[in-house]
Chains A and B, each alone.
Chain A
Amino acid sequence: MIKRRRAPATHAARTAALFLGALTAAALLASVLMPDAAATLDLSYRRAAPSLSHWFGTDELGRDVFVRVLNGARVSLAIGLLSALLSAALGTAIGVTAGYARRWIDDVLMRFTDAMLSVPRLPLLMIAAAILQPGVPLLVLMVGAVGWMETARVVRAEVQSIATRDFVTAARGIGASPARVVWRHVLPGVVPTVSVATTLAVGRGILLESALSFFGVGVQPPTASWGNMLYQAQTTMMTEPWLALFPGAFIFLTVLACNSVSARRDAGPRPVLAHTGRRTQLERITPLS
């Protein structure tokens, strides 16, 4: 029952994957080849406009903005990727439990999911960050902890549908334990959905982290992150616009790339729920407005 359509945006997806790969490589290379470059001050060369020697210009302390953007990439990509994996794991665990266990466990888990979906995500994170004053590892946990709900919902719906299929009944009939049925027969069926939700979550995680840092409650200086570079650029943005232009452009391009990679997969074989014949629910994209 899986309909296959040709993915329309393969070219864009390839470009997006290439961009993400290049960015990751550049960020890692930069920290290996010039570990101190981001902190190098050049007070004789402060607030310089972009030029051949400083591609993205320099900031108020004479630090090279290009190097800082690459350093920020490490933080942003790490938080985006790790928080998305955490969200995927939480969402799958909760979705599978709710969908397979049914009855009151399902009710409790889904009420909790609904509650978490109702709280405005960014304000909740901002308050939590203001209180906890997190470092990067805690930020990963926090962003991951507010991103699992959509995954849990679609996974639950799919599990409920898969659980009624003949091969599941057969597995149960020959005496397989619930854990084995879930692991061998149910989980493989939710992999496509989870992978789409996860790539979307990477982009969302990067946006959330940069928003937190932009409001001064996320990654703290001197560690460079795209969000806190923008935060610092705000005051001098009229005279040194490059300080605001480049970090933000990288947030935009990276999130765009994450969304394009998943958009291709989403347009590909989107699984049809076997039981109802409906396609899996499209994930709601909540803009951080």
Chain B
Amino acid sequence: MSQDISIKKGLSINIKGAAEKELKKIPLTKFYAHNLDDFHLLIPKLEVKVGDYVKRGQPLFYSKTNESIKFVSNVSGYVKDIVRGERRKILNIVIESDKKDSIVTSNIKPISKLDSESIIKSLLSSGCWPFIKQRPFDIIADPTKKPKSIFISCFDSAPLAIDYKFILNDRLDHFKYGLEVLKKLVSGNLYLGLNSSQSDLAKQLTNFNLNYFNGPHPSGNVGVHIHHIDPINSGEVVWILNPEDVAIIGEFFETGQFNPERTIAVSGPPVKNPKYYRLIIGAELKSVLSSVDLEEGSELRYINGDVLSGKTVSSNGFLGFYNNNLSILREGNNYKLFGWIPFINNKTPSIYKTSFSWLSNGKPKEYDTNLNGEERAFVATGEMESVFPMDVYPMQLIKECLIGDIEKMEKLGIYEVSPEDFGLIDYSSSSKIEAQSIIREGLDYLYKETQ
């Protein structure tokens, strides 16, 4: 059953400052938060108010559309603050840790006695459910809609790629247990995507349906795996998870305790000692940054996630719910004299051979956040197709999303894509088209009109 798929289109971006395989554990610090921005389209309903005491694993809020989806506290302590933005929209729920780590423990039956209904129930009440996202729409899965399959990508091909094998090293048993639990939900249709360099990991996972993907980024994107193995048709749903979240789920089903430990790679050109850190989901950035050695002298951008699809976070913000990396870039807010003329500005790499940067393609390079141009009218110069390894026409889909023609969006395959699949299109577009945000808006519009 295992398939070996070679991805031809795409682009591997080699950035300076990839994380070394070295893990540092960070003890409990003072503040932890949920960034509500991480849960796209979620309308939260609070179960706590400022000053309440919560244990680790105790619900803080739930989804208005499905009250059974609970979001629980990652640490024990007091609700310190509920930060609201425009129109009283909740932005953050901040917990002040009491550092005692009191835990809610649930009674969980051994796996052989669990059926899919009881598994879903436990996932929902334990706070593990939000780890399960669905395609289409790339939002938290709807527990009432049975998926046709579950996909987990076990490797990362994005710039400054993280090594899931390293992350899972000491949690492999939990990971495998989690996989067994999930397998029960889809009567076996659980697919793992691996790279052929991961034979060690593959040997440990012989019980599961493994598929191999090789080639440039986005070969590690779960959306690409779904597209090639079990593409989503209109009306179908596929669930996706990150490997470390599967381990958290596995640990919960083994021990009855929600243990939201997160391993993050802190990396990027300004990081002098890029490596992995283990801490609790939603920790303050400060708690990590205090151990990170950063080059001084320039304004920096902190990103929850990878540099193509992650979200900007301020240095006094909090780690995201899903990401395994904190990427750091220099802000490129400087002018470049005649930088647009070919072979003048050779420091900034290009997919076109209009700078000498391609001569040293093997070497990691400095990248910053400069747009390298201004947004322009859509000119179909062909980069989009060359970095998009799906049988979908990206430019035409983007245009239909801009217009908002639902019928055409469906015909062109909107259900098969998620914004992160368009990360390289953002990167490479000569007209500086914001493809990810156009696709996100298109999906949101489709969701609003059809769900």
Chains A and B form a bound pair: no
Residues on A lying within 8 angstroms of B by beta carbon are: none
